[in-house]
């Protein structure tokens, strides 16, 4: 049985680090072997510090995948769907490798990141290094609870992990990321009522806003077929806020058994179904990057470490 990587369905953590790398040599054999050792690093810290709820996900960029693992390819693995309409842009900046590291202790996240970096550094260039954190009770920096409607329990695996539909990649997962930069000054100038209209949710109790309309972020998801007849989402969101004194935003991460739901939602946000029905939240935040990755099962990574 091909087990998914532990971080795919993990519960939200307090801290995270997202290491983005491009590979600078052609020693794929060494990279395959070292990625299996990254899994050992995750396990080691998880065993030593079980209270920190350590998890991680090794993600391979859509272009680099066939170089690293020539031969088979996940059926739906394709480049990031870069889109643009007026000033709403979803740029594509997929790296060769993305290592997601999550834990409830910042020191442990840092220690794992250092070991992973030390292991890989001869073969890679560090492109971006984003530190995520849990903000208040799971809110985005805009003040709204994010991912409250995520699938729960067993539904998580059904949504995020590939099953029999792609027999060579059972246990794998499609990962999409976008680094959103919020214009917090403009956002904070809005009244609470207008903010709730933009999001489509109430800030305090996280209910459907009475002011919600076709441009509300939440409604953009509802008008697509992103949930099943029981209202279960087809996308597991594992995003985290990031911030320093000059930049604040959300590092968006989705895990899914298919690459289609992310594409559909992004299209709904940027273009809408009809003219001017785009996601109004994009007037207050902008995507700086976009990545399409594949997170193979544990068995897939380990089996190919020797080849």
Nearest approach, Cβ of residue 228 and ligand HEM (Å): 11
Nearest approach, Cβ of residue 24 and ligand HEM (Å): 30
Nearest approach, Cβ of residue 179 and ligand HEM (Å): 9
Cα dihedral: 97, 72, 155, 101 (round 10)? -20
Handedness of CA 252, 72, 302, 172 (dihedral sign): positive
C-alpha closest to that of 252 among 106, 109, 130, 155: 130
Query: By C-beta, is 22 or 267 nearer to ligand HEM?
Result: 267
Please tell me which residue in 128, 146, 276, 299 is annotated as part of the active site: 146
C-alpha closest to that of 218 among 231, 260, 178: 231
Nearest approach, Cβ of residue 57 and ligand HEM (Å): 18
- Give the separation between CA 298 and CA 247, rounded to whole angstroms: 35
Residue 119 phi, psi (nearest 5): -65, -40
Place of tokens 């403009």: 186
Query: By C-beta, is 11 or 118 nearer to ligand HEM?
Result: 11
The site for ligand HEM (CB under 6 A) is made up of 140, 142, 144, 146-149, 178, 180, 199, 201, 217-218, 221-222, 226-227, 233, 235, 250, 252, 262, 265-266, 285
Closest residue by beta carbon to ligand HEM: 149
Query: By C-beta, is 43 or 283 nearer to ligand HEM?
Result: 283
Query: By C-beta, is 44 or 152 nearer to ligand HEM?
Result: 152
Is 276 a catalytic site residue?
no
Q: Which long-range contacts (CB under 8 A, 24 or more apart) does 226-230 make?
A: 226/261, 226/264, 226/265
**Which residues are catalytically annotated?**
146
């Amino acid at each position: 049985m091909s087990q998914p990587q532990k971080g795919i369905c993990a519960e939200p953590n307090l801290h995270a680090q997202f290491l983005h790398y491009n590979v600078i040599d052609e020693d794929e054999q060494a990279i395959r072997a070292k990625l299996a050792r990254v899994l050992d690093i995750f396990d080691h810290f998880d065993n030593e510090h079980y209270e920190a709820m350590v998890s991680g996900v090794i993600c391979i960029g859509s272009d680099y995948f066939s170089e690293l693992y020539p031969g088979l390819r996940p059926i739906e693995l394709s480049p990031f769907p870069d889109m643009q309409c007026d000033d709403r842009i979803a740029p594509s900046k997929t790296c060769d490798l993305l290592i997601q590291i999550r834990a409830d202790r910042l020191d442990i996240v840092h220690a794992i990141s250092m070991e992973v970096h030390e292991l890989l550094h001869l073969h890679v260039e560090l492109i971006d290094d984003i530190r995520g954190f849990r903000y208040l009770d799971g809110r985005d920096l805009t003040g709204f609870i994010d991912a409250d409607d995520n699938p729960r329990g067993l539904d998580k695996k059904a949504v995020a992990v590939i099953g029999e539909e792609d027999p060579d990649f059972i246990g794998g997962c499609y990962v999409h990321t976008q680094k959103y930069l919020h214009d917090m000054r403009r956002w904070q100038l809005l009244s609470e009522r207008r903010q709730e209209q933009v999001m489509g949710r109430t800030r305090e109790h996280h209910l459907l806003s009475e002011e919600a309309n076709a441009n509300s972020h939440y409604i953009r998801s509802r008008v697509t077929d992103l949930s099943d007849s029981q209202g279960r989402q087809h996308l597991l969101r594992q995003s985290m806020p990031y911030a320093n004194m000059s930049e604040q935003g959300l590092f968006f991460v989705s895990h899914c058994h298919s690459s289609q739901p992310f594409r559909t939602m992004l299209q709904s946000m940027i273009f809408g179904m009809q003219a001017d029905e785009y996601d109004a939240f994009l007037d207050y935040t902008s995507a700086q990057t976009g990545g399409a990755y594949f997170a193979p099962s544990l068995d897939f990574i380990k089996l190919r470490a020797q080849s």
